[in-house]
Amino acid sequence: MTFNPTRRQVLVGGASLATIVALGGVHPAFAGADRAKITVRVEKDLSNLDPANRSGPIDLNVIWSVQQGLISFKPGSTEWELDAAEELEQVSDTEIRFKLRSGLAFTGGYGDLTAEDVKFSFERFIKPDAEGKPVTYAKDWSSLDRVEVTAPLEGRIILKNPAPALYTIALADGSGRIVSKKAFEALGKDIATKLIGSGPYVLKEWTPREQFVLEINPDYKGPIKAHFHQIVGKPIGEQKTAEIAFKSGEIDFTAIDPENGKSLAALPDASITEIPAIDYVWFGPNIEKAPFDDIRVRQAIRYAVDIDAILQGAYSGLYPRADALLAPSLLGHWKDAPVHARDLEKAQALLAEAGHADGFKTKLTIEANARYEAIAQIIQANLAEVGIEVEIEALESAAYWALGENDASKDLELSLIKFNGKFDPGFQTQWFTSAQVGQWNWQRWKNADFDALHEKGGVTVDPAEREKIYIEAQKLLDESAAFIWITHNLNAFASRKWLKPGVLPNGNNWLYTAFTQATA
């Protein structure tokens, strides 16, 4: 039997084949599962891949997958596990001994990973760079005195003072990544764009503003296994655009607005993950400026603002309320923190007592985005009820964050702020110290007792004692009435059903090595 297709049959067949291929390309429901590769959306492009000068979590997440540390975070946890180190021992409050695994090697022919590389990587943070400036993350290693190399694969980290936060702030984090001394010396400034490491992935490609590609490092001999052959990161700034890209199957994983979780969960191949965050969103006055230098005015504002209405209106009622600086999952969380309920009578009485019975005019500065505009409008409406007329000043991101430079915050009146959290409470308290006035302490609140507690918390080793210290510090923040906490945020992610994302509890940091195939 012979098969002699007619011209029409060929055309119909060809068109059908093309349709099937096209559908497979545009919708995941039709696509053959390419489980060796995942595509994730990142909010912005990579910027600086030097761990000491990285620009934020987008860079760090890539650095983590390419460079090893002595230790690394466990997936989904604030606890750590051994990575490049075979042994790690806290010998005393100021000494940590380490022994590296043998056979670990840097990519690009830069040789084995040795204790000399560890010494070089960590001591960079306490020495000025080639231009005589400290590296961006110098503070992470401020307690470091020196690293002593005792054998090719062994050494001792000597600290100037006890530093219990060192494990989460530096060693397991970006500042604890081990760079190749040889590569650093050979590449010079290019170290910011060429990522050399000894970790599970290599940065195979980075096309600015388009994508980066991580591929499994065939020579990797460490303990942390990667699960996907290739991870592609696509920078998509707009959340809505990212959600459309997810719906169309262009990406397999993205952070989303929790409000849109329900509609995305309705997709046949989507899974939504929600993780309470450790960020802190608050607003407060610049207490150096009248009338906010009067605590009664600050207390009046706190009584006048309806935080629950903000959570309902600006956060769809999905986000948890914050009553203190430290989130519930952190050491030092103040679970008995007072919940300041709205009380307009008290607010008016306090304003009258402070000589502002008729209210006053002020300005609320926010970063321009829909959520903060919604918060600002609720605050505006709430304060209008006690006679305080609020003008909203919405600044573009760059202009807004520039307020942290050159003492620009001195002109602020009210400001709405969101800071990202880290796993050690000392990271959070540092921004409210007197030394930060003119930088990130936009309320310009100075309190010597708070400063002392922050310092003490940084060198106290006993966790129970540290907890007490940080709760005391938060009480001082509360007494000042300069900080009106709103939420610790909520992270939400959409991923394919077959994908289990490797997100750390802060939501901002992802371990690409911990992205795995979900089990049924």
Residues at the interface with another protein (CB under 8 A): 240, 243, 259-260, 263, 309-310, 312-314, 316, 368, 370, 373-374, 376-378, 380-381, 391-392, 394
- 423: closest CA among 491, 489, 505? 505
Distances (CA, A) of 64 to 68, 156, 246: 7, 23, 25
Please provide the DSSP assignment of 356-390 as one string. Answer: -TT--EEEEEEESSHHHHHHHHHHHHHHHTTT-EE
| Cβ neighbours for 433, distance < 8 A, ≥ 6 positions apart | 441, 450, 451, 454
Question: CB of 260: closest distance to another protein in angstroms?
Answer: 5
d(C-alpha 89, C-alpha 181), whole Å: 24
Of 140 and 306, nearer to another protein (C-beta) is 306
Question: CB of 370: closest distance to another protein in angstroms?
Answer: 4
| Cβ neighbours for 296, distance < 8 A, ≥ 6 positions apart | 350, 351, 353, 354
Of 186 and 309, nearer to another protein (C-beta) is 309
Of 322 and 378, nearer to another protein (C-beta) is 378
Of 43 and 455, nearer to another protein (C-beta) is 43
Question: CB of 242: closest distance to another protein in angstroms?
Answer: 13
What is the rounded radius of gyration, in angstroms, for the C-alpha atoms of the chain?
26
Of 169 and 486, nearer to another protein (C-beta) is 486
Question: CB of 39: closest distance to another protein in angstroms?
Answer: 22
Question: CB of 380: closest distance to another protein in angstroms?
Answer: 6
Residue 200: asked if its preceding bond is cis (omega within 30°), the reply is no
Of 55 and 316, nearer to another protein (C-beta) is 316
Of 232 and 414, nearer to another protein (C-beta) is 414
Three-state DSSP class for residue 287: coil
Question: CB of 264: closest distance to another protein in angstroms?
Answer: 9
Question: CB of 309: closest distance to another protein in angstroms?
Answer: 5
> Which tokens sit at 94?
């100021």
Question: CB of 397: closest distance to another protein in angstroms?
Answer: 12
Please provide the DSSP assignment of 400-460 as one string. Answer: HHGGGSTTGGGG-SEEEEEE---SSHHHHHGGGSGGGBTTTBTT----HHHHHHHHHHHH-
d(C-alpha 471, C-alpha 60), whole Å: 30
d(C-alpha 434, C-alpha 333), whole Å: 22
Of 352 and 394, nearer to another protein (C-beta) is 394
